[in-house]
Amino acid sequence: TQTKSALFDLKTYWTTLIGEINHKLEDAIAVQYPEQIYEAMKYSVLAKGAKRAPPVMCVASCELLGGSRIAAFPTACALEMVHAASLIHDDLPCMDDDPSRRGQPSNHTVYGVDMAILAGDALFPLGFRHIVSHTPSDLVPGPRILRVIAEIARAVGSTGMAAGQFLDLEGGPDAFEFAQEKKFGEMAECSAVCGGLIAGAEDEEIQRLRRYGRAVGVLYQVVDDILEETTKESGSSEDEKDEEKRGKSYVQVYGVEKAREVAEELRAKAKGELDGFEKYGDSVIPLYSFVDYAADRGFSVGGEASS
């Protein structure tokens, strides 16, 4: 698999999917009265340069198990909507107080705090609605749709990403790893699991996708932290202020060396989970290549260098 993975052109695979997903997301939010809320929703969901990692992970997991891309797209879009909702609320002044996101002003900076809260409140249900109204029922039976909805709701909820955000705000020495896992592992885990559910995966396969997704999500973040630490310009007061606001990173807690070890462990763990999908042959290659991408960042995707 190592060689096949190397030959596989992840960048093209990913970029093609980004194009399709962006197109579907644009269609999914039609501006109507009252226009300002739709504008606010579109602003964050259609932000330029988004990598669309959750939707791409969802589609790849679905295709791994022989599911159709068409079956996975509505859920893939929904993942992006609820993810955007979480990020809009995370950026609020009463939370992380981030004036920018993905290189542009954050939602509340442009639309005001009240609209930002409401845009988030509207994007969560829009995600669920999109799944219900767009998933082809001949390809995905009702019980699978219900499991997908429950999975996404759990992932963003009080024991998932909301828990991660809460523990991140609260701080404390024991909370760090849990908060990191919840904030960064949960979305990837949920995306991989949803793809599997749509394709009708066995429970054991779902568990495997769950562990794989979580490992990749956290790996991605750890590597981000390492890159930020090793490439940052020294002495910029703005950078320091940013860091203080964003809370601690793996590198700050464990140092670069230990963070690199953690990253290697996560890479091995994620690949180990994929070894269990051997019987599906080459369809597992995209998922392997995500692991290498998360670890090595061999190319840039989505038009910018960082999320």
Q: Which residues bind another protein (CB under 8 A)?
A: 32-34, 36-38, 41, 85-86, 89, 92, 94-95, 112-115, 117-118, 120-122, 124-126, 128-129, 132-133, 141-143, 145-147, 149-150, 152-154, 156-159, 162-163, 165-167, 169-170
For strands 104-105 and 100-101, give the pairing.
antiparallel
CB of 124 to another protein, least distance (A): 5
Cβ-based nearer residue to another protein, 18 or 152 = 152
Residues 6+ apart with CB under 8 A from 41: 29, 84, 119, 122, 123, 126
Cβ-based nearer residue to another protein, 161 or 218 = 161
CB of 91 to another protein, least distance (A): 11
Cross-strand partners of 104: 101
Cβ-based nearer residue to another protein, 141 or 298 = 141
CB of 30 to another protein, least distance (A): 10
Q: How far is CA 70 from CA 73, 131, 148, 175, in A?
A: 5, 12, 15, 39
Residues 6+ apart with CB under 8 A from 257: none
Helix axes 10-28, 285-296, angle to 10 degrees: 100
Handedness of CA 256, 262, 263, 268 (dihedral sign): positive
CB of 32 to another protein, least distance (A): 8
Cβ-based nearer residue to another protein, 110 or 132 = 132
CB of 82 to another protein, least distance (A): 8
